[in-house]
Amino acid sequence: MYRIAAFMLLGAVILISLTGCFDAVELNDVEHVSIIGIDRGVSDKWRITFQLPSTAGEGEKGGMGGGGQAGGGFSYKTLTIDAPSFFAGLEMANASIPRKLELSHTQLLVFSEELARSGMVGEFIAPIVRGGTIRFSSNVVISRGSAEEFVKSFKPFIGKTISREIADLMEQANESGYFTNLTLYDLYDCIKSTYHQPIAILGAVNKGENFKENGERWGTEFNIAGDYYAGDIPRKDGNETEILGLAIFDGDRMVGKLTGFESRLLSIAKGIFKRGIFTIQDPKSPDYIIPVDTRQARSPEFDILFEGTKPIIHLKIQIEGDILAIQSRINYEDPKLQPILQAAIERFIKDGLDRTINKTQELNCDVFKFGQKAVRHFGTIGEWEAYNWNSHYKEAEITTEVKFSIRRTGGLVESSQIIFSGEMNK
Amino acid sequence: MKNMTKEGKIGFQEALWLLVITTSTKLFFSSPTMAVKLVGTAEWYMTLVSAVVAAVGFIFIYLLLKRYPENNIMEIYNDVFGRFLGFILSFLLAAVLLIEAAVGIREFAEVQKVYVFPKTPITFIIGAFVAVAVILSFLGLEAVARYTKLVAFSLILAFVIIIILAFQHYQLHRLFPIYGYGLGKTIYHGAMRSSAYGEVIIVAIIAKSLHGAKEIKKLGFTSLLISEVLVLVAYLAFLLTFSYFFGRELTAPMYVMSSLINYGVFFQRTESIFLFIWNLTSLISGSVLLYMVLIVYCHMFRIKDKKPLIFPFAIILFSLSMIPRGIMDVISIYRQDLMQYGWIVFYIPPLIALITAIIRKKKGVVKSV
Amino acid sequence: MAGIFKTFKELLSYKKPKEPEGGFELLEDENEGVEHENNQINWQKVEKKACSGDKNENITVIKPPLTVDEWNKTKKQESTSIQTVKNNMVASKLAVNIEFIKEKFNIPKNQDVIVREFNIAQKIEACLVFVDGMVDKTIINQFILPQLMNTESFKSFNGDCPVDYIVKNVISINQVTKTKEFERITTQILNGVTALFIDGCEECLLLESRGFEKRPVDKPQTETVVKGSQEAFNENLRTNLTLLRRTIKNEKLVTEIIPVGKMNKVNCAVVYLEGIANHTLIKEVERRLKNIDIDFIAGDGMLEQLIEDNSFMLFPQVISTERPDRTASFIMEGQVVIICEGTPFALALPITFFHLFHTSEDSMLRWQYGTFLRLIRCLGIVLAALLPGMYIALTLYHDEMIPTPLLMSIISAREDVPFPSIIEILMMEVAFELIREGGIRIPGVIGQTLGIIGALILGQAAVAAGHVSPALIIIVAVSGLGSFCIPNISLSLAIRIIRFIFIFLGASLGFYGISIGITIIGAIACNMKSFGVPFFSPVAPKTNANPDIVIRQPIWKQKMRPDYLNTPDRKRSGDNPIKWKNKRGEQ
């Protein structure tokens, strides 16, 4: 008897299922938004841009080929809408988009700098985090122009699908260190954090303004590589969008920016720097440069002491690197000359680091995460919150120490001079 | 066919995993969130305090059971306190277990509705759950215990894998300041929340199916130890991933933690594994609690056959699960109250019974050699 | 020309119908449903024959008149004879016996049974009864009739009943039995044994003379292995038992033969090792076999369904195998084996789930290879049961769990498909099952090619037409391959059914539904008992096991018999199965 009852129960469940149950959503019945851009709107409070992959129109669907083609055949269209809130925007978009917008595969959130500086980022993120559909692992980018422009320009440049593009672009943080692969999780964590302040990736559309077509050729002035904000790199063509540098927030309001170079140093100080090439001036012949492929040798160490309420921090960084080129052909591989080069590199990095630290101190934003160690001096959460570390950051006395060691010199173990005829021989 | 009047004997390992899974299912829901709200960064060692208090409580239960070999706790209450008081105490125990099952089911359904099934009506989810509990109750304790042992190993393994994979987001600084909101508060809440391990009283309810007092002692302590280790590791992982200000906001922190795992294009979005662990453990836990309620109830009213009662109790369970208004009620009112006051029913009556039995010099009779 | 004209004329003119309307019909009559007793013996005829004593009514023989005493004696003999025959015992008067046999076997209507009357040593009347075709004619022609008809051997015989004398001195047949009951005699005659009735004897001799056509010992059809014996059972019981005896040369190997089935009396052999198999188990098996009340058992498949614990469970509770070496390993572990005439399979019981996915090859190979093969089979089972259900659950409910590039490729492939996912997957699953079923029916080479070509063309054409997405073909194909890995056919069919259950559950409630399915099926399977042994021993409940469940440890580590069988003798081997490793240089 009980078996009959059990089967009836099961049968009832199964019968209901065949009608295509409540939450069953076919993959083709929804539209997976890949990028969302948020601006301050004019006709309404928010201006939201959605980038939608679509298989309509372009791309031929032949008989045998159509079914077998995998992954390709997408064209990316955008929709911009002004709405009083994010979810209102989602729904109003469906007045013209036939399929329901689905946010579970959104990989990029773009805020405009204007919006960030008005302090509206937190206001926007609150509903997203609660909704649970946008994953915490999606990246957040602050764009210099309008987010709409950024989203419109972000099309697959090399690959076929935008998700690969975004993932690969964010991977470059590990390759060059010019920005950090920051996700919504990091942003939200830091917004609420009592330990430190948030940072976000800086992006922009590079319209090629800095790329001067005609003019005098460059002399021998030394420019620090990567010391630009996003969108300022002098280049032409290529992918229109550009990611470089970090934005600094106080709470949820953007207060400053770091260039690519400064972001690298920030990563080194935090211990998350993977590798990157620093280009320094040759100490013995300042017209030439020496690029060094740098890695972190050890995690940075810092000690925090408290003098009353003023923190005293001593930061010690240990990095190592390989020499990639010696333009002046001075034999720095010689053990007698190596310390000179090392000292030069250390000085260079220390200067940059100090510059970055001063910048953040002026803005009173602890993005270096010194607070993480400072908290160990406190017993309970009550004491820590009463102290309010974020407000004391600007008073902190921070001293830095950099140690650099040259590990390898590449394929050449000795540099020697180029031979000229006559007086050019040095 | 299965004879429902007598429970067969179940082995040590099966009973162990039954207890462990029933006890530790709670941690997948909002317990970490509420704990962080109360004690902040001291959450992970608060569970140690809870476990110690629960172990102390279990010692009383064990001593009581040792005094009355081959009797389960309802019979002991009847013997020590007389039939009327014993009836009331057993009823209290059954009521608390039933409420615990109902709250557990509702919490499970609510969290599923938030993250997985936004449009499905909640009656459907709860209905399916109760149907499974019914079928498992029909099959009997032996079958459920064996099945639990069969899947327990894979579930624990998958859980450990998730905890290890989430390593990339662990940051040690989130454990500091180390005393949370104060040591006193930690100990107080830890003691209160020892009812999280209160399911150890199931040992006393199924005492007749186990093989003697020695095994009961080993069973109780081992299950407490394993559940404690699981909960500790989970809370630690949770705290290392979400700082105390972030963690106290999340509905289902374990789920979010497993959704953060991201090792490249392919190794991401692995919360499907976690969903399976979650679903399977909750289904087992709910069914076992329903079955325990049935055992106690049938013993109270001296009913021999449980089968006709399963459907009515399923309907009662369903209705009880539908009582809370919404998820906040479930998390902050019902679950909290169960945690705060559950220990009164789990640990105090056995203690009183033990003292009374010693005073009145009552002992159990050994029926078989 | 004339023929056409004739046909035309016949078409137009009227002809009276010859046959009754409708042709032949099988209608009900008053005999239907009435249970006839087996013994519809015409006793009058028997009595008449007995009394007259005449075999041939046409020839009148003049006999001398009998005295009163002799008359009384013959009359008494006749009445006792008829009485004994009515009690199913052999009568001393031969004519009565013959008549009874003729009535029973429906001779002369039934031309298979031969009654050969002759004289022993030219003096005593006797008769041989046998079934033509079941006996080896050489034995009767050369070893029974000449020796019995020979007067030389009967020189030293004086007495009434020569049965014992014949058994001891005359007949050179290897197996001779004496019996009095007609029940047994008819059974044995039907089995191919020759019955010898002698006038004046109340016992009948059963002479072993079986010699019917049977298939020679062949290769196994369903359980092929690479490394292992290539002999399989065939339909003859004696051959099968011999194959077993060749593998287990132990004096304690017991084969009890129990006839099953009311109307066709199939012989079933219950084989076990005395002292290793549990007594209560053996008694239970015999009890179940003896209490089967059914008229026809076609083979071990039907037998399995009649003696199993629970017919409603999906999983089988006895295991059937075609190989004698595997059967021998079951017997050595302490299980009881039933071999039924008529099908080349043996049933072994009780079993656990883990028996269903071991093959004999695992034990023949080294432990690393055996473990590896088993792990692959485990993976096959999991894929076969769960993969389509998981795919449906993922795409319908949990699309956030699919990595984005994969998702985009599935979407672009599914754009052209007009059906919803669940219809798509059901279509492909049903098509695949049809191909499998069809491939079994079609004989020989065509069958295999049909399977491959059918699947290939069907899949390819479906994708090209845009009816199915390519991802789905892969899913269905992989899960089909997984189910091919399962060595036991009952388990593989059970898994195929479970796959459909999981598809429905996954389509209705996503991962929650699949978890519900796993819970219910798992709990029901754990509840199952096969002849008193829980189905998932030795994992749940935990019993002391051979280290041979999934990971197979080397043979010299498997020292004990399985605990759940409760065998009297637990140890398989001594403490050190490889003694030669410790003793160096010694013998």
Same domain assignment for residues A191 and A244: yes
Q: Is B170 on the interface with A (CB under 8 A)?
A: no
Instruction: Convert the pLDDT of each residue in C455-491 to its tens digit.
Output: 778 888 888 888 888 888 888 888 888 888 888 888 8
Q: What pLDDT does B7 receive?
A: 57
Q: What pLDDT does B203 receive?
A: 86
Q: Please answer whether residues A368 and A266 qualify as being in contact, where contact means their C-beta atoms are separated by less than 8 angstroms.
A: yes
Beta strands in A1-44 (DSSP E): 30-32, 35-40
Tokens of A47: 């201006």
Could you tell me how many helices (H) and strands (E) chain A has, helices first? 13, 14
Q: What pLDDT does A48 receive?
A: 92
- In this complex, do B256 and A136 lie within 8 Å of one another by their Cβ atoms? yes
Q: Is A135 on the interface with B (CB under 8 A)?
A: yes
- For C543-552, the CB contacts below 8 A with 24+ separation are C548/C358, C549/C354, C550/C354, C550/C371, C550/C374, C550/C375, C550/C378, C551/C371, C551/C374, C551/C375, C552/C362, C552/C363, C552/C367, C552/C370, C552/C371, C552/C374
Q: Residue C558 — very low, low, confident or very high, per pLDDT cuts 50/70/90?
A: low
pLDDT surpasses 80 at C50: no
C128 three-class SS:
strand
Q: Residue C527 — very low, low, confident or very high, per pLDDT cuts 50/70/90?
A: confident
Q: Does residue A286 have a cis peptide bond before it, meaning omega lies within 30 degrees of 0?
A: no
**For residue A206, what are the domain limits?**
28-54+75-211+223-258
**What is the arithmetic mean of pLDDT over C506-515?**
90
Same domain assignment for residues A373 and A413: yes
Tokens of B317: 């369970």
Same domain assignment for residues A204 and A296: no
Q: A108: part of which helix (H) or strand (E)?
A: strand A108-112
Q: What is the pLDDT along chain B (369 residues), one digit of tens a residue?
A: 333 334 567 888 888 999 999 988 877 788 888 888 888 888 888 888 988 999 998 998 888 888 888 788 888 888 888 888 889 989 999 999 999 999 999 999 988 888 888 888 888 899 999 999 999 999 888 889 989 998 998 999 999 998 998 888 888 888 878 887 888 888 888 888 888 888 888 888 888 888 778 888 888 899 999 999 999 999 999 989 988 888 888 888 888 888 888 887 777 788 888 888 989 999 999 999 999 999 999 988 888 888 888 999 999 999 999 998 888 888 888 888 888 888 888 888 888 888 888 888 766 665 544
**Residue C119 bridge partners (DSSP):** C125
Instruction: Convert the pLDDT of each residue in C229-241 to its tens digit.
Output: 888 998 888 899 9
Q: What pLDDT does C20 receive?
A: 64
Instruction: Output the CA torsion sign for B209, B214, B217, B222.
Output: negative
Nearest-angstrom CA–CA distance, A108 and A167? 10
Nearest-angstrom CA–CA distance, C94 and C85? 11
Q: A313: part of which helix (H) or strand (E)?
A: strand A310-323
Please name the amino acid found at residue C163.
V
Tokens of B291: 């079955």
Nearest-angstrom CA–CA distance, A278 and B7? 74
State the distance between the two ends of chain A, measured CA to CA, in whole angstroms: 104
Q: What is the pLDDT along chain A (426 residues), one digit of tens a residue?
A: 778 877 777 777 666 655 556 777 888 888 899 999 999 988 888 999 999 988 876 444 443 344 444 445 788 899 999 999 888 998 999 899 988 898 888 999 999 999 999 988 888 888 888 877 888 888 999 999 889 999 999 988 888 888 888 888 888 888 888 888 888 988 888 888 888 888 888 888 888 788 888 888 887 788 888 888 888 888 888 888 888 989 999 888 899 899 989 999 999 988 888 888 998 888 888 888 888 999 998 889 888 888 888 888 899 999 999 988 888 888 888 888 888 889 999 999 999 999 999 998 888 888 888 888 888 888 888 888 888 888 888 888 889 999 999 888 888 888 888 888 886 654
Q: How many domains does chain A have?
A: 2
Nearest-angstrom CA–CA distance, C363 and C292? 36
Please name the amino acid found at residue C348.
A
Q: Is B2 on the interface with A (CB under 8 A)?
A: no
Residues of chain B with Cβ-Cβ distance to A23 below 8 Å are: 116-120
Nearest-angstrom CA–CA distance, C321 and C223? 8
Helices C470-484, C367-397: inter-axial angle, 10-degree rounding: 150
Residue of A nearest to C405 (CA): A163
Nearest-angstrom CA–CA distance, C501 and C565? 32
Best of C406, C514, C527 to mutate (most B CBs within 10 Å, chain B): C527
pTM over 0.90: no
Look over chain C and give the mean of its residue pLDDT values, rounded to a whole number: 82
Rg, C-alpha atoms of chain B:
20
Nearest CA to A178 out of A229, A223, A141, A142 is that of: A229
Whether A185 is covered by a domain: the verdict is yes
Q: Maximum Cα–Cα distance for chain A, whole Å?
A: 110
Same domain assignment for residues A232 and A284: no
* Identity of the residue in B116, B146, B269 whose CB atom sits nearest the CB atom of C536: B146
Smallest Cα distance from B271 to chain A, Å: 12
> What is the length of chain B?
369
pLDDT surpasses 80 at C33: no
Same domain assignment for residues A79 and A202: yes
Nearest CA to B166 out of B275, B41, B262 is that of: B262
Place of tokens 């005094």: B67
Residues of chain C with Cβ-Cβ distance to A63 below 8 Å are: 464
- For C56-59, the CB contacts below 8 A with 24+ separation are none
A168 three-class SS:
helix
pLDDT surpasses 60 at C392: yes
* Identity of the residue in C397, C524, C542 whose CB atom sits nearest the CB atom of B116: C397
Residue of C nearest to B119 (CA): C397
Best of B147, B269, B271, B285 to mutate (most C CBs within 10 Å, chain C): B147
pLDDT surpasses 50 at C529: yes
Q: Please answer whether residues C550 and C374 qualify as being in contact, where contact means their C-beta atoms are separated by less than 8 angstroms.
A: yes
Q: Residue C584 — very low, low, confident or very high, per pLDDT cuts 50/70/90?
A: low
Name the C residues in 480-509 with CB < 8 Å from any B CB: 509
Exposed / middle / buried, residue C114 (Cβ in 10 Å: 0-12, 13-18, 19+):
middle
Q: Maximum Cα–Cα distance for chain C, whole Å?
A: 114
**Residue A292 bridge partners (DSSP):** A278, A323
Q: Please answer whether residues A180 and A263 qualify as being in contact, where contact means their C-beta atoms are separated by less than 8 angstroms.
A: yes
Nearest CA to C346 out of C240, C491, C258, C239 is that of: C240
Same domain assignment for residues A36 and A164: yes
Nearest-angstrom CA–CA distance, A222 and C34? 115
Q: How many CB pairs under 8 A join A and B?
A: 86
Instruction: Convert the pLDDT of each residue in C280-314 to its tens digit.
Output: 889 988 998 888 888 888 888 888 888 888 888 88
* Identity of the residue in C399, C405, C420 whose CB atom sits nearest the CB atom of A164: C405
Nearest-angstrom CA–CA distance, B46 and B31? 12
Smallest Cα distance from A115 to chain B, Å: 24
Q: What pLDDT does A59 receive?
A: 42
Q: Please answer whether residues C339 and C243 qualify as being in contact, where contact means their C-beta atoms are separated by less than 8 angstroms.
A: no
Residues of chain B with Cβ-Cβ distance to C563 below 8 Å are: none
C222 or B277, which is more confident = B277
Nearest CA to B272 out of B255, B293, B295 is that of: B255
Q: Is A23 on the interface with B (CB under 8 A)?
A: yes
Same domain assignment for residues A195 and A48: yes
Q: Is B307 on the interface with A (CB under 8 A)?
A: yes
C313 three-class SS:
coil
Smallest Cα distance from A373 to chain C, Å: 36
Smallest Cα distance from C443 to chain A, Å: 34
Nearest CA to B86 out of B357, B368, B359, B365 is that of: B357
Q: Does residue C350 have a cis peptide bond before it, meaning omega lies within 30 degrees of 0?
A: yes
B158 or C43, which is more confident = B158
Q: What pLDDT does A66 receive?
A: 41
Same domain assignment for residues A248 and A278: no
CATH superfamily for domain B12-360: Amino acid/polyamine transporter I (1.20.1740.10)
pLDDT surpasses 80 at C567: no
Tokens of A61: 């669907």
Q: Is A378 on the interface with B (CB under 8 A)?
A: yes
Tokens of C63: 């006999």
Q: Is B328 on the interface with A (CB under 8 A)?
A: no
C34 or C322, which is more confident = C322
User: Chains with 3 or more CB pairs closer than 8 angstroms to B?
Assistant: A, C
Whether A15 is covered by a domain: the verdict is no
Q: What pLDDT does B2 receive?
A: 39
Residue A146 has φ and ψ, to the nearest 5°, of -90, 150
* Identity of the residue in B268, B275, B284 whose CB atom sits nearest the CB atom of C403: B268
Percentage of chain C exceeding pLDDT 90? 11
- In this complex, do A381 and B115 lie within 8 Å of one another by their Cβ atoms? no
Q: Please answer whether residues C199 and C94 qualify as being in contact, where contact means their C-beta atoms are separated by less than 8 angstroms.
A: yes
pLDDT surpasses 70 at C41: no
**Residue A111 bridge partners (DSSP):** A38, A142
Best of C312, C394, C398, C404 to mutate (most A CBs within 10 Å, chain A): C404
Nearest-angstrom CA–CA distance, B26 and A359? 47
Instruction: Output the CA torsion sign for B260, B266, B267, B270.
Output: positive
Smallest Cα distance from A244 to chain C, Å: 25
Q: Please answer whether residues B362 and B80 qualify as being in contact, where contact means their C-beta atoms are separated by less than 8 angstroms.
A: yes
Nearest CA to C175 out of C207, C210, C134 is that of: C207
* Identity of the residue in C403, C512, C526 whose CB atom sits nearest the CB atom of B269: C403
C62 or A224, which is more confident = A224
Task: Give the list of residues 6+ apart from residue B170 with CB closer than 8 angstroms, or none.
Answer: B237, B240, B241
Domain ranges of chain B: 12-360
Residues of chain C with Cβ-Cβ distance to B283 below 8 Å are: 515-516, 519
Q: Is B3 on the interface with A (CB under 8 A)?
A: no
User: Which 8-state DSSP code applies to residue B334?
Assistant: I
Same domain assignment for residues A134 and A277: no
Nearest-angstrom CA–CA distance, B231 and B48? 9
Q: Does residue B177 have a cis peptide bond before it, meaning omega lies within 30 degrees of 0?
A: yes
**What is the arithmetic mean of pLDDT over C260-281?**
86
Nearest-angstrom CA–CA distance, A129 and B256? 11
The ipTM, to two decimals, is 0.90
